Amino acid sequence: MTTTMRTTATKPPPAKRIPMTSLRKTALVAGVFYLITFISIPTLALYGPVKNHRDWILTSGSHTGILVGGFLEVIVALAGIGTAVTLYPVVKRQNEGVALGFVTARVLEGAMIFTGVVSLLSLLTLRQDLGGTAGANTAALVTTAASHVAVYKWTFLLSQTLMPGINALLLGSLLYRSRLVPRVIPVMGLIGGPLLIVAVFATLLGQHSSVGGLAALPVIPVAAWEFSLGVWLVVKGFRPSPITAEMTAASAPLAYQDVAV
């Protein structure tokens, strides 16, 4: 008798994908929101014709740059609020009062950004309705346009320059103490935040004529802190800490119930 033996390769069962935990989702969403806040950088160029030419309202031509810039800043305002709302359930376990202050600061920042955008969009409406008007109205239009631009510049100083410094102190202190991310990341914010605040108040008190000079230097570490935080949260998530352990333990019974059902 001839026995034919066939060897069949046994394929290992496909590896099951590890589900993303709620903490990982929170870190990912917050990181994405932080990275989105950088999309407003092109507005520095898009708003150039409006901010640098006093007679822009009297000219004719495309105003797409103003609309695009306003749209980008609206997204930035909403994303900024999103960072605080997303991180609040986690960082409040370190200090609820400071965490609530961070949310409030982000909402205030977003409100001021909206105010600046409305100012420029109102200027755009004036240009469309009254631009090119000659005669006695010309001087009035230029003056009105200058006031709208001034409103935008001051709201930009308070919203996108002062508030990031305050946010860096609030969130940076929470993350430094909780060790949810490497400490070198919040340290950048804790160093740059006070410098940025001092630079803004120096501008307010007339010690410097524009944000582009003195206040521009502390912007670098604050921007580096926010960007590195966004990248870390997207790529790595929260580091193991007493806070993450507590949240994982609190959600474990719920996860067990879901599996049992």
The pLDDT value given to residue 37: 95
The pLDDT value given to residue 5: 45
The pLDDT value given to residue 16: 54
Q: Residue 108: is its pLDDT beyond 90?
A: yes
Place of tokens 């804790």: 190
Place of tokens 């949240």: 247
Q: Which comes out higher in pLDDT, residue 14 or 223?
A: 223
Three-state DSSP string of 140-185: HHHHHHHHHHHHHHHHHHHHHHHHHHHHHHHHHHHHHHHCCCCCHH
Return the closest-CA partner of residue 87 out of 103, 101, 67: 103
pTM: 0.83
* Residue 45: other Cβ atoms inside 10 A: 10
User: Cα separations (Å) of 137 from 130, 155, 215?
Assistant: 9, 27, 37
Look up residue 53 and give its two tokens. 């030419």
In this predicted model, what pLDDT tens digit does every residue of 200-228 receive, in sequence order?
Answer: 888 888 765 554 455 567 788 999 999 99
Share of the chain above pLDDT 90, in %: 55
Average pLDDT, the chain: 84
User: Cα separations (Å) of 154 from 58, 63, 72, 161, 226?
Assistant: 23, 22, 18, 10, 22
| pLDDT-wise least confident of 21-35, 87-101, 115-129, 151-165 | 115-129
Mean pLDDT (whole number) for 116-145: 78
